[in-house]
Amino acid sequence: MEIGVKLKDARMEAGLTQENVAEEIQVSRQTISNWENEKSYPDIISVIYLSNLYNISLDELLKGDSKMIEHLEESTNVVNSNRKLLFAIGVNVLLVILFILFNGIISGNNYLIAGCASVCIISTCVLFYQIIKKI
């Protein structure tokens, strides 16, 4: 059984509306609806609050839903997230250093300068994306 169905069934058994649950765990009613319709998944803290609110175990709530387990693993894997961020920083620094070092060599070719500048801009955007994703 998928987590959305489990959440809805548990809410109904507890005699609560989506608004009641939303107020209790401090999210919007739309968020509860999205979780129950599996348009999005709750984070681990919300899953714990829901487990306590519905008086069911985390094991019972999460077992059998591979997508939810995958979502939780991805959202709580700090080591992998930090590794991606450090890699993006390293690549960005390396590209900027190479651009500065080879500036004299490529200064005669406008296409090469534009290409190198584009690569630096793209790598900086990837770095900012990783930083924003981490926040």
Q: What is the pLDDT of residue 28?
A: 94
User: For the chain, what's the residue count?
Assistant: 135
Q: What is the pLDDT of residue 76?
A: 67
Give per-residue pLDDT as tens, 92-128: 888 888 888 877 777 778 888 888 888 888 888 888 8
Q: In the 8-state DSSP scheme, what is residue 64?
A: T
Distance between CA atoms of residues 72 and 59, nearest Å:
13
Fold of 3-74: 434 Repressor (Amino-terminal Domain) (1.10.260)
Q: What is the pLDDT of residue 65?
A: 66
Q: Using 70 as the pLDDT threshold, list the residues of the chain that sit under it.
A: 1, 64-66, 75-79, 134-135
